[in-house]
Amino acid sequence: MHVLSEVWGDDHNYGVVVKKRMELLKQVLVSDEEEQSKIQTCQKSPEA
């Protein structure tokens, strides 16, 4: 943890960076799920 604080600054700033990256990751995952849903919708064959 001491080495991380040297790289990122104090613990508070490190926590802020981690929080921002987690929020970005969540946005990417939601976007991926939406795109995957569109792909699955297009690939479904019509049932007769």
Q: Where are the domains positioned within the chain? A: 1-31
Q: Which residue in the block uniquely carries the two structure tokens 């479904």?
A: 44
Per-residue model confidence (pLDDT) at position 9: 67
Per-residue model confidence (pLDDT) at position 39: 83
Per-residue model confidence (pLDDT) at position 35: 87
Q: What is the pLDDT along the chain (48 residues), one digit of tens a residue?
A: 566 656 666 777 778 888 899 999 999 999 999 888 888 776 665 554
Per-residue model confidence (pLDDT) at position 45: 56
Per-residue model confidence (pLDDT) at position 1: 52
CA dist., res. 33 & res. 40, Å (int): 10
